[in-house]
Amino acid sequence: MKQIKLFSVLLLTVIMTSCFGDSNNTLTQDFSSYCTSYVVDTTTGTTAISNGATYKAKNNIDKGTMTLEVSGLKLPNGTYMAFTLEDQRYIYNEKGAIVINVPSAITVMGDMSHTITNLYFEYYSRYLGTQAFPMIVMNFTIDYQYTTRVIYNPAYYWGTTTITDQEGNVFTNSEQSSFYGVQFDIEKNKAIFGAFNAKFNANMPSMNMTFKDLDYTLSTTSYTVSKDEIIPTIGDTPYPSYKITDFHMTGTWGGNQYVSFTCTIDTEKLKGTYRVSASLAILPPNTSNN
């Protein structure tokens, strides 16, 4: 499998994995490097956002079950949490994703027991040719108090992009090769957005553009990203001739994402103002999760 590095500065290399990768009919996938944990204490309203927790899924093919392991999860009170849910029966949803839904379970580790409620887990393998873009969607509540959202970070989405120029002409780009990504840098409290194989005009060459230092807000159900003015980078080079203004992105975890911005192009070959909007989803259009 190939490896590709899509964001030039802070975004992690996307590791191409075909599926869960172990032996003896127990296949294991470790998602930890790509997961940010967002935890809300529902009794106090305090929150904790952190990297470093471990999230593993062990798929027992013979049984048709999966064991989920979570450890090193930081809670708002500064303590850390770990639990294992063994041999959970899974199904495949209409998108082809593996789904586990656990309304309530008791976990025991040493002399500590915890109640896990409303756990929901989806696993998408997602392929474009030989390039794989695995992703999980996961949330759960610990001891009826700590509601946790696992944010796959960076996350990539596909969909139809609609561009309207200053004269009202509309250009639509729904090619599978075009996609978008977002990553939250929790240390800087900034987000990065990537537009890959972007094309805002029929005469514009496809480009990989990165928008940096964006403002964001998070919740356990959704997020927003915004910035008034951006100079995008292509590679590591700023391109003021493709100035971005009025950037907004919103989405729900595991649901649809919406992006809009204005791109003002001022180059020797192409000039104009283009209003870009995109409605995005987890799966590329006209593809299955395989």
- The tens digit of pLDDT for each residue in 231-289 reads 999 988 999 999 999 999 999 999 999 999 999 999 988 889 999 999 999 987 766 56
Here the tokens at position 265 are 């192009």
CA distances from 191 to 123, 197, 214, 215 (A): 24, 20, 5, 6
Q: Name the band, by pLDDT with cuts 50, 70 and 90, for residue 42.
A: very high
Q: Say if residue 76 is preceded by a cis peptide, omega within 30 of 0.
A: no
Closest CA relative to residue 7, chosen from 182, 250, 264, 229 = 182
Q: Name the band, by pLDDT with cuts 50, 70 and 90, for residue 14.
A: very low
> Is residue 262 within 8 Å of residue 244, measured between CB atoms?
yes
> Is residue 82 within 8 Å of residue 146, measured between CB atoms?
no
Bridge partners of 92? Answer: 98
Bridge partners of 67? Answer: 58
Q: For 139-188, how does the pLDDT look when each residue is reduced to its tens digit (9 = 90+)? A: 999 999 999 999 999 999 999 899 999 999 998 887 667 899 999 999 99
Domains of the chain (ranges; CATH) run 26-152 (2.40.128), 155-281 (2.40.128)
Closest CA relative to residue 218, chosen from 246, 257, 250 = 250
List all residues 6 or more positions away from 268 whose beta carbon is below 8 Å from its beta carbon: none
Between 133 and 129, residue with greater pLDDT:
133
> Is residue 153 within 8 Å of residue 25, measured between CB atoms?
no
**Sign for the pseudo-dihedral over CA of 226, 230, 234, 238:** negative
